[in-house]
Amino acid sequence: MNAHVAAAAQALNFRARSLLAFVLEPSEPIPLWFAALDAWLVRSPTFFAAKPVILEMGALDLDLKEYRALLSDLARRHIRVMGAENAKPGLVGPHLPPVVTGGRTVNAPATPEEGASPAPAKAEPEDSANSAAAPAKAESEPSLIIEANVRSGQSIHHLAGDLTIVGRVASGAEIVAGGSVHVYGALQGRVIAGASGSPSARLVCTETRAELLCIAGAYVTAEDIDPEFEGRCLEARLDGEVVKLRRLD
């Protein structure tokens, strides 16, 4: 009996582990924030698909009923909330997201700019139980290079560094990188650079017909892009909170 119990105890392995989670920062008034979120999801509907999300609650003053409504509205948008930061004590309970602490922004600048876009575009590593035992690695990983076309419906994410696509990015495809993105081919889908919050990220493409270009939360859509850039080789960078485009040909 004791041997059986000991064997069962040995099978329970508890570890601390760091992982990446997107952070959403709702702000007042909530209806306007949801309107901005819905506009984002129209242009990038799979951005949060099957991804862990943390809610940053520091800017909100909600009661329990309003908090539950917020979570329900996010769930209807297929956004999974795995935890909350800076939630008031009254917003903690057995049927609510657990409180998480200790997250560090990945690739973020040393002094984040004020008034950042409400669009979701940064990620933080969140530790599991005993988080202090597993410090997150701060350095960026080497660039990821994909030598293939990205088909419609495909989504490629590399939040740890730069991402290079040698091939075409079809309409309906999505590219997300924590750093800069380079596309050596026709870009017809959606590209999100600086998804970890880095305003210095760039986007370079040899033939641009993009549905959406986004850097660190600021974005332009196909409707916003001047026709002179269509089909051209260009660079996109962040100027304050505005995405600026520059032809390279």
Which residue type sits at 21? A
CA quadruple 58, 59, 64, 67: dihedral sign:
negative
Per-residue pLDDT of the chain (249 residues; tens, 9 = 90+): 565 555 555 666 666 666 677 888 999 999 999 998 998 888 777 777 777 888 998 888 899 999 999 999 999 998 989 899 988 888 888 888 888 876 665 543 333 333 333 333 333 333 333 333 333 333 445 789 999 999 988 888 888 889 999 999 999 898 989 899 999 999 999 899 988 778 899 999 999 999 889 898 888 888 888 888 889 999 999 998 889 999 988
Question: What angle in degrees, to the nearest 10, is found between the helix axes of 30-43 and 64-76?
Answer: 10
**Domain ranges, ordered by start, for the chain:** 18-133, 144-247
Q: Is 102 left (phi over 0), alpha (psi -120 to 50) or beta?
A: left
pLDDT for position 74: 92
Residue 224's pLDDT is: 84
The confidence score (pLDDT) of residue 186 equals: 94
CA angle (44 as vertex; 43, 48 as ends), nearest 5: 150
The pLDDT score that the predictor gives to residue 198 is 82
The pLDDT assigned to 52 comes to 84
Measured in whole angstroms, how far is the alpha carbon of residue 30 from the centre of its chain?
20
Topology annotation, domain 144-247: Pectate Lyase C-like (2.160.20)
Count the residues in the chain: 249
Q: Which fold would CATH assign to domain 18-133?
A: Alpha-Beta Plaits (3.30.70)
Same fold, 18-133 and 144-247: no
